Amino acid sequence: MATFWIILTAILVSSACAILGCFLILRRMALVGDAISHAVLPGIAIAFLWSGSRDSLWMLLGATVFGLLTVFFIQTLQAGGLSSDASIGIVFTALFAVGVILISLNAQHIDLDLDCVLFGEIAYVQWDTLTLWGLDVGPRAVWMLGITLLIILVVVGLFYKQFKLCAFDPALAAACGIPVVLFHYALMGLVSMTSVASFESVGSILVVGMLIVPAAAAYLLTDQLGKMILYAVLIGAASSVGGYLMAYAMDASIAGCMVAVAGILFVLALLLSPKHGIVLRYVRRKYAAR
């Protein structure tokens, strides 16, 4: 049963991250996902200190607020003349440092540590269960991630055309009357929610891998957004199952192995992609040279 909950949690994490990761890749905002996943740390710490509990709802709200603040600060610095990478680096390191300071100053009073937030431990999800009306309804992480994935599916499903147009051509979207800024912040809010919902299962650092690697691999396999999202979800699910099997065989970190398998799948896509594959391009050049 433990294996089932671990793999289910991993698939929920990878699916939520893969869907959002596709839009981040298309908008050339991969590093923003990295920045948000680190910069929400002070939001988690402040929410905990204010509420006095590790209730996921308060942490989710705190993380979402700081995720949106991160995007706002990045865009403000860019408008002031700084380059995109410099703006991202300044904002996420500064906010992340604030979160580290808040946790370290209050570590003796709270049951919240950096190892939990940064690395997580997916093997323990089965022990933290949710009880409703006196009934044990399963791991809290599964419910949290399931609700997060459902919200992502509903929002992206309802506004798929708007998100798609904003990703490919923001200027055209604005000309069509689509509120580009609103959808931009909606996407960033979803990334923030997914990051904090995944903290206790895979940790902040490994969320970045699932946000970017499956989507980047899918980007190499197709030029259609719908197929890209489907491929990214499938690659994420395959990484979850394969990573668990690798971790079991090697007695290693489960989350680490999952991202490692995702990296292996990306390399395979890079080599064998029908359009962009290094191997196939080499073969075509060899035949063309004859």
pLDDT in tens, 177-209: 889 888 888 888 888 788 777 776 666 667 888
Percent pLDDT > 70 in the chain is 87
Structure token digits, residue 72? 């706002």
- Whether the per-residue pLDDT at 114 is higher than 60: the answer is no
3-state class of 274 per DSSP? Answer: coil
Q: List domains and CATH numbers for the chain.
A: 1-203 (1.10.3470.10)
pLDDT computed for residue 285 by the predictor: 77
Query: CB under 8 Å to 65, separation ≥6 — which residues?
Result: 43
Residue 253 parent element (H or E): none
Query: CB under 8 Å to 94, separation ≥6 — which residues?
Result: none
Q: Can you list the positions of beta strands (E) in the chain?
A: 129-132, 135-139
Contact by Cβ (8 Å): 193, 148: yes
pLDDT computed for residue 118 by the predictor: 58
pLDDT in tens, 41-57: 788 778 777 776 655 67
pLDDT in tens, 133-168: 777 677 777 888 898 899 999 999 999 999 999 888
